[in-house]
Structure 1
Amino acid sequence: MREVTVLSSSMVRPENINRSGRREKIHLTPHDLDLLYLFYHQRGLLFHKPDLENRFIPRLTGSLSTALEIYFPFAGRLVKVNNQEDDTVSFYIDCDGWGAKFVHAKAESVTMNDAFQSHGYVPDFIPQFFPANNVQSRDALVSEPLLALQFTEMKDGMFISFGYYHMVADGPMISPNLTNGSSFWNFFHTWSKICLNDWFFEGIDYPIHIPVLEIETLPRCEPSTKERVFHFSKKKISDLKVKANYEIGTMDLKISSLQAVVAYLWLSIITHSGLNREEEMQCKGAADMRQRLNPPLKKECFGNVTNLATATTTVGELLDRRLGKTALQISKTVKVETNESYENIAKNWVRNVKMPKTSVGRLAKNSLIITSSPRFEVYNHDFGWGKPIAARAGPANGTGGMLVVFRGVEEGSIDVMRP
């Protein structure tokens, strides 16, 4: 196995931790707390190798310090409060400027060609390129920062990766009105100041009390299967979209490129799954709720402002359909997400808190779970040595049906990774 050597690991703090107007404590909403069992989200970008005489490490850590002053929740810590009066626990983010972890590593024998082919199996050493492997959300209570980044020098390239606490920032994928990506990608895109909205659900008291037993029985997820990457060209995507829209035969509803690709994957996976026709199957993806709420939120708002849109059917019904009807069900599922449904889910969750008792939890075993989005601008980052040439996901949540969707490096293409 090719080795990745860690050269240094440090904590980077915001430039000004006493900045006026900064909220000191951020309570977590039901949609945040419902993700407590998940692993840290991990993503990474591959770059050509720059002139190593440039002081790129000080430049990276210096700009990170500036960014953390603006996006200060990432530099905070997760705090648990034991509520003795009712035997529950509560959680909040303490924005104390503790900092984010920055790792500088080297993989001298690894070439870009070794690590990141456009499709095929992902090499076994790739997890070493990520900074938060096997870190679950609850681990932030002990020693883990809310954000970790890793810069890995390769023989002929560089890889910048990150792992972050999913309860601080989101990553919606399947909402058709999404333009600039999740709150985390906004952090990665720009160093300009954002407004951290004060929005909370009415009728919910904060902090939310979670029964102690629910936390103590949270599962540990198991490693997933062999990783693979599938590439969809612009031509292939266009053909799928045209076919799906032709099959539904209506001008009132339009199938998007992403919905056509997801429908194709769902049908392909079920066709080769060996499941019984009577078994229930679901396709799940996070719908961006920022503009669906009343009043709407700014796109930069942190937290998990998404709702899990779920299309449900049986294996037999799915196999009897064509591409168009499958894509149409996904499209309709996303469209019905509203301000009212979002609030009702949050309020019901608080009334009867139930954390998942299996490693896949509410992501049922017969589910296809779509994360990330080809709408995220993953190739627009330039730290001074050019833009990325590939994007990958780190080890995921131990869910065999999870697919991570990225924009392909060629315009109009899509890469789908099975972690």
Structure 2
Amino acid sequence: MAPMATPETTTILHRCRIAPPPGTALQSLPLTFFDMVWLHFNPIQRLLFYEYPCSTTHFLETLIPNFKKSLSQTLKHFLPLAGNLIYPLNSGTQPQFLYLPGDSVSVTIAESIRASEYFNYLTGNKPRNADDFYAFVPDLPQPKIEHKSSCKIIPVFAIQITLFPETDICVGFTNHHAVGDASSIVGFIKAWSSIATLGKDDELLATEKSLPFYDRSVVKDQLGVGNTFWTQMDVFRVESLPLKFPINKVRSTYILRKNDIQKLKNLIQAKKLNLTYLSSFTITTAYIWTCLIKSATAAGEDVNDTEPEHFVFAVDARRRLDSPVPATYFGNCVAFGATKDMHGKLKGDEGLFVAAELIGEVIVKKVNNKDEILRDAENWMSKLGCLIPKRCFGVAGSPRFDMYDTDFGWGKPVKYEAVSIDGAGSMSLCKSREFEGGLEIGLSLPKKKMDAFADIFYAGLNM
């Protein structure tokens, strides 16, 4: 295993701020209750790694100018990312996203001082030290207090591009979760890569269905859930625990090929004849969840068989609401599905079948039911707060997301890493780069538990 990353892993070549083109108008957006849930969670961090041999001179004189220009062109359509979250220090008014002309995104341009072998290590699937990735992850600029308006000004987006001289490039993205869900941020990344490749935004402008949609009135809040959440902020905050370094975890990537998923599906269907819903998502998450639960004993964890194991996942609610929201709606628009059962039941021989049935039932009865999906929305914050200290596993990403078609003009990425799962107790999930119909799963666990998980994961596929 390579040594832990240190500040000496990269050299900062340049820091700058990139703004939308001159003349871009002010934009103000209120937070919906979908956004409010994420106000105090850790930022979302993503990395894309590219094989692109190039010199430092070519990088700085050719690639970076286009990188900056295309980013500015893209931000013209995604103004909230260039703006700030305006967070009032008193509860009399609610937060808003505000872009003022001149606002900009923090961009760090760096160079790795490690050899190409280090890039190969980072982009592998085997266990890698979780700390090693943070030299390539941008930090959000520190919030500022504006005493005149009694507000905290919170930047919501930052970018870093790092060159591995003569071999490779890494692009890192960090966003405040409240500014947008995965669908929104991935939409921005795809739009930017298109503009970077084509040199213009014609393709984005060719159809209104490609442009981000900002009208908050489409999110109906007839029960005043947003006000409830904001009031609850004075009583308690649902906050992610801050990461402490060293993290003492390793990151590994696992692939479920199309035939693996079909094999698991056949196994489950043979045991559960009456299952009404068995998607790739259901199969994959049930398998990973139960493999993780089964690894507890081998990893030295002492878990009582009656201890509840919770599984929570966010689901894109845009098309599932009673009044559907446009697919390009920018912001957060995710609801929650949750289920649980006892540790002893899920770690047993029937665990996979139990988990698949539990997750499938939640999707059928709540997630895909427009009358149920928001029924207990006013309790989301309190429920999430209660789950943070418990045995809980979640999902970041979706089988719908194909991060491997993100081409900035350097070809398709060789590896995607959802870095923020280090502190989230979640698996990352996206389409596989190598295998059609396959899925790529990322995990961050203590090494002993990762080793135990790997043994159980591969043994289950070879049955």
Cα RMSD of the aligned pairs, angstroms, is 3.0
Counterpart of 1:148? 158
Percent same amino acid among aligned pairs? 22
- Aligned pairs for 1:184-199 (under 5 A) are 184-190=185-191, 192=204, 193-198=211-216, 199=218
Alignment correspondent of 2:14: 8
Aligned to 2:267: 243
Separation in structure 1 between the aligned mates of residue 97 and residue 327 of structure 2, nearest angstrom? 21
SS at 2:313's partner residue? strand
Residue 75 of structure 1, aligned match among 66, 71, 82:
82
What residue identity is the alignment partner of 1:385? W
Question: Does structure 1 conserve the Cα–Cα contact (< 8 Å) formed by 2:89 and 2:152?
Answer: no
| Match of residue 419 from structure 2 | 394
Aligned residue among 290, 295, 298 for 1:272: 295
Deviation digits for residues 291-317 of structure 1 (CA, Å, limit 9, x no counterpart): 111221111112211112101111123
Contact 1:244 1:325 in 2 (8 A): no
Equivalent residue of 2:253, what SS?
strand
Q: Measured at CA, do residues 143 and 152 of structure 1 come closer, stay the same or move farther in structure 2, by a change above 3 Å?
A: farther
| 1:99/1:145 contact within 8 Å kept | no
Amino acid at match of 2:160: Q
Q: Which is further off, 210-219 or 328-337? A: 210-219
Q: Give the distance between the partners of 2:15 and 2:285, measured in 1 at CA.
A: 39
CA distance in 2, matches of 1:348, 1:367: 18
* Residue 163 of structure 1 pairs with residue 183 of structure 2: no
Q: CA deviation at 1:240?
A: 1.9
Alignment deviations for residues 263-315 of structure 1 (CA, whole Å, 9 cap, x no partner): 11211121232411111111111111111112211111122111121011111
CA distance in 2, matches of 1:298, 1:16: 29
Paired residue secondary structure (2:74): helix
State the Cα distance separating 1:344 from its structure 2 match. 3.9
Name the CA distance, whole Å, in 2 between partners of 1:190 and 1:246. Answer: 43
Q: Give the 3-state SS of the residue equivalent to 2:252 in structure 1.
A: strand
Contact map agreement 1:214 1:354 (CA 8 A) in 2:
no
The 1:248–1:17 alpha-carbon spacing in structure 2 relative to 1, beyond 3 Å, is farther
State whether residues 28 and 99 of structure 2, in contact with CA within 8 Å, keep that contact through their aligned partners in structure 1. Answer: yes
CA distance in 2, matches of 1:220, 1:237: 34
Tell me, what secondary structure is at the counterpart of 1:58? Answer: helix
1:89–1:210: 8 Å Cα contact kept in structure 2?
A: no
Deviation at 1:218, TM superposition (A): 5.4
| Equivalent pair of 2:290/2:346 in contact (CA under 8 Å) | yes
Note if contact 1:44-1:162 (Cα within 8 Å) is conserved in structure 2. yes
Q: Describe the superposition over 1:308-365 as per-residue Cα deviations: whole angstroms up to 9, x where unpaired.
A: 210111112323434233212112212312444444444456xxx75977xxx64342
Higher helix residue share: 2
Among 79, 94, 107, the alignment partner of 1:102 is: 107
The one of 343, 352, 373 equivalent to 2:398 is: 373
Q: Contact 2:426/2:443 (CA < 8 Å) preserved in 1?
A: yes
Deviations 1:55-79 (A, max 9, x none): 1111111111111110111111111
Kept in 2, the 8 Å contact 1:103–1:150? The answer is yes
Task: Write the distance in 1 (CA, Å) between the matches of 2:239 and 2:44.
Answer: 18
Counterpart-to-counterpart distance in 2, 1:407 and 1:73: 27
AA matched with 1:161: G
**Residue 381 of structure 1, CA deviation:** 1.3
Distance 1:354 1:134 in 2: 29
Gaps of 5+ in 2: 146-150, 193-203, 205-210, 297-301, 445-463
Relative to 1, partners in 2 of residues 1:394 and 1:135: Cα closer, same or farther, differing over 3 Å?
farther
Partner of 1:416: 441
1:202 aligns with 222
Contact 2:394–2:427 at 8 Å: present in 1 too? yes
CA deviations over 1:135-178 (Å, ceiling 9, x no partner): 89x9xx7565211111010142111110011111112xxxxxxx
Unaligned runs of at least 5 residues, structure 1: 172-181
Cα distance 1:345–1:284, how it changes in 2: closer, same or farther (>3 A)? same
> TM-score of the superposition, structure 2-length normalised?
0.76
Question: CA contact under 8 A between 1:74 and 1:168: conserved in structure 2?
Answer: yes
Q: 1:233 to 1:219 in 2, by over 3 A?
A: closer
How far is the alpha carbon of 1:413 from its aligned partner?
Answer: 3.1
Structure 1 residue 258 corresponds to structure 2 residue 281: yes
Residue by residue, what CA displacement relative to the aligned partner does 1:193-212 show, whole Å, maximum 9, x if unpaired?
33223323234397774366
Which amino acid counterpart does residue 101 of structure 1 have in structure 2? S
Q: Does the Cα contact within 8 Å between 1:130 and 1:161 map onto a contact in 2?
A: yes
Q: Determine if the alignment matches structure 1 residue 132 to structure 2 residue 139.
A: yes
TM-score by length of 1: 0.84
Q: Distance in 1 between matches of 2:277 and 2:142?
A: 40
